[in-house]
């Protein structure tokens, strides 16, 4: 590098007391001879174990470790967003506290940013090999990556990887909500087309279990993805609309019930010649489908209003309880 840039490394932490020591040791070891300066910004996301106590000790020993403690668990998306706002680096990277990716890969990500790419995603090679993960976890992950590629037009193999790199202008424009951390690399296509994905070796975590991979979030992620598509289309083609999250899920349920009922009535008409014109079921089906569409439209409006509210006043949905080594 011609000059020593500052690299900010954002690390969300939720109940990772068993990995904090290893995390700091491996990060500092991997970056000790790096041709850049760095800061490690840890977002303590409402842990219920001894993570905060151990992080305090690390921050006291290493001033490059900066900690933001949330008042309660807000999720990885808000941890990322907070880290982006607190970071000062020319390049901003995200990294997982489970250390499932070797911190040495950070050097490769920074090298790609130096080459001229604006966003670097990583693909965890071997993630599902020899892993005690059920088919119910593997299949949704594969399906989600394909769906994200189809909807956003950005073809990435591993949208869920914790190691990503961004140039400063990209994170300055990112506004993350819901579960959007899962596809923030694809979201960046709104700001740049210089996006690349590199392979990194996957390692099994040493301690603890993932706190951010619950299958209960799948439906939320699904509708957040369609909300992202809606926002992307609004910025490029304002006449396109896609469903929002809460109203979208309820609206879709009403619409599907109505549509299935109509299909059943059509089946009766064709196969058995039944008279369906006066059936109450036909009226109720029409009402359900109409209500479903209306709820989905309300979801669109809710998405727009939420983003206007947060974007115009620099408001956040998280609360910072305390900080260490953070200069405001």
Is residue 277 assigned to a domain? Answer: no
What pLDDT does 300 receive? 74
What pLDDT does 41 receive? 98
What pLDDT does 237 receive? 45
Instruction: Kindly tell me if the per-residue pLDDT of 36 is higher than 90.
Output: yes
Look at residue 72 and give its three-state secondary structure: coil
What pLDDT does 210 receive? 61
Per-residue pLDDT tens digits for 281-319:
889 999 999 998 888 888 777 767 766 655 665 667 788
Instruction: Kindly tell me if the per-residue pLDDT of 244 is higher than 60.
Output: no
Look at residue 233 and give its three-state secondary structure: helix
Look at residue 309 and give its three-state secondary structure: helix
In angstroms, rounded to a whole number, what is the distance separating the alpha carbons of residues 30 and 32?
6
Is residue 105 assigned to a domain? Answer: yes
What pLDDT does 70 receive? 96
Kindly state the DSSP code that residue 101 receives in the 8-state scheme.
B
- The string of DSSP codes covering 130-194 is T----HHHHHHHHHHHHHHHHHHS---S-TT-S-EEEEHHHHHH----TTGGGGHHHHGGGT-S-
The CATH code of the domain that includes 110 is: 3.90.550.10
What's the mean per-residue pLDDT of the chain?
83
Q: Which residues contact 108 (CB under 8 A, 6 or more apart)?
A: 198, 200
Cα distances (Å, whole numbers) of residue 224 to 107, 119, 192, 267, 304: 32, 21, 21, 35, 13
pLDDT band at 1 (very low <50, low <70, confident <90, very high): very low
Is residue 202 assigned to a domain? Answer: yes
- Tokens representing 229 are 């598509």
The mean per-residue pLDDT over the stretch 242-259 comes to: 76
Is residue 176 assigned to a domain? Answer: yes
Q: What's this model's pTM, rounded to 2 decimal places?
A: 0.72
**What sign for the dihedral angle of Cα 144, 145, 146, 152?**
positive
Tally of domains within the chain: 1
Closest of 49, 42, 45 to residue 24, by C-alpha: 42
**What sign for the dihedral angle of Cα 156, 37, 114, 92?**
positive
Is residue 235 assigned to a domain? Answer: no
Q: Are 157 and 145 in contact (CB under 8 A)?
A: yes
Q: b/e map of 283-318 (b: 16 or more CB within 10 Å)?
A: eebeebbebbeebbbbbbebbeebeeeeeeeeeeeb
β-pairing, 91-94 vs 164-167, is: antiparallel
β-pairing, 320-324 vs 65-70, is: antiparallel
What pLDDT does 316 receive? 74
Q: Are 161 and 84 in contact (CB under 8 A)?
A: no
- Tell me which residue range forms the domain holding 129: 6-213+318-324
Q: Which residues contact 275 (CB under 8 A, 6 or more apart)?
A: none
Is residue 162 assigned to a domain? Answer: yes
Is residue 264 assigned to a domain? Answer: no
Per-residue pLDDT tens digits for 39-50:
999 999 999 999
Is residue 195 assigned to a domain? Answer: yes
């Amino acid at each position: 590098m011609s000059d020593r840039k500052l690299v900010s490394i954002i690390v969300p932490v939720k109940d990772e007391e068993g990995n904090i020591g290893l995390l700091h040791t491996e990060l500092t070891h991997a970056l000790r001879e790096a041709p850049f300066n760095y800061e490690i910004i840890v977002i303590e996301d409402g842990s219920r174990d001894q993570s905060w106590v151990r992080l305090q000790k690390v921050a006291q020993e290493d001033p490059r470790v900066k900690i933001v403690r949330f008042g309660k668990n807000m999720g990885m998306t808000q941890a990322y967003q907070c880290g982006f706002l607190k970071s000062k680096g020319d390049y901003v990277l995200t990294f997982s506290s489970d250390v499932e990716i070797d911190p040495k890969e950070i050097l490769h990500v920074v090298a790609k940013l130096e080459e001229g790419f604006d966003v670097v995603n990583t693909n965890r090679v071997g993630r599902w090999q020899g892993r005690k993960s059920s088919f119910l976890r593997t299949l949704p992950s594969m399906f989600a990556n394909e769906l994200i590629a189809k909807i956003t037009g950005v073809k990435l193999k591993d949208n869920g990887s914790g190691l990503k790199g961004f140039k400063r202008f990209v994170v300055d424009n990112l506004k993350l909500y819901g579960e959007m951390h899962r596809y923030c690399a694809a979201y960046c296509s709104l700001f740049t087309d210089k996006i690349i994905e590199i392979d990194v070796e996957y390692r099994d975590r040493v301690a603890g279990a993932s706190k951010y991979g619950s299958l209960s979030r799948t439906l939320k992620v699904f509708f957040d993805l369609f909300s992202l598509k809606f926002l992307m289309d609004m910025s490029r083609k304002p006449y396109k609309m896609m469903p929002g999250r809460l109203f979208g899920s309820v609206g879709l349920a009403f619409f599907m019930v109505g549509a299935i009922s109509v299909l059943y009535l059509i089946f009766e008409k064709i196969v058995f010649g039944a008279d369906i014109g006066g059936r109450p079921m036909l009226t109720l089906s029409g009402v359900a489908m109409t209500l479903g569409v209306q709820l989905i439209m309300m979801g669109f409006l809710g998405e727009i209003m939420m983003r206007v509210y947060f974007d115009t006043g620099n408001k956040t949905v998280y609360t910072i309880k305390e900080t260490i080594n953070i200069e405001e």
